[in-house]
Amino acid sequence: MRKRRLIKQQDDQNPLSVLTNLFDVAMVFAVALMVALVAHYNMTEMFSKEDFTMIKNPGKENMEIITKEGEKITKYKPSEDQSGKGKKGKRVGAAYQLENGEIIYVPE
């Protein structure tokens, strides 16, 4: 009488083989989350070829100017001495934008 031995596959004996599948799932989830955040915050301009300038929080203390020129993205945040607080001055004129997009400055 011969005894038969059951041959187990190598995958069943390796407890780390499950981690490779979890890594793949995590990568797919991370990419999907990044795409969802870009779509939600309307940041699709960052991936276009066009140049643009975006102003966050205009007129407030935490205002930021983000400019994209070609592949270069620059972020400008005015310092406290440039924000205009504590400075005195006077109005020197007004600027008007026409229907065709032209801007005209009118001194007072």
Kindly list the averaged pLDDT for each block of 10 residues, start to end, along the chain of length 108: 53 70 91 90 75 81 84 80 61 83 81
| pLDDT given at position 32 | 96
Give which of 71, 107, 74 is closest to 90, Cα–Cα: 107
Give which of 73, 76, 52 is closest to 62, Cα–Cα: 76
Q: How many residues does the chain have?
A: 108
| pLDDT given at position 39 | 84
| pLDDT given at position 13 | 67
The bridge status of strand 52-56 relative to strand 64-69 is: antiparallel
Hey, which residues does 52 pair with through a beta bridge?
68
| pLDDT given at position 7 | 52
| pLDDT given at position 29 | 97
- Written as six digits, the tokens of 91 are 């109005």
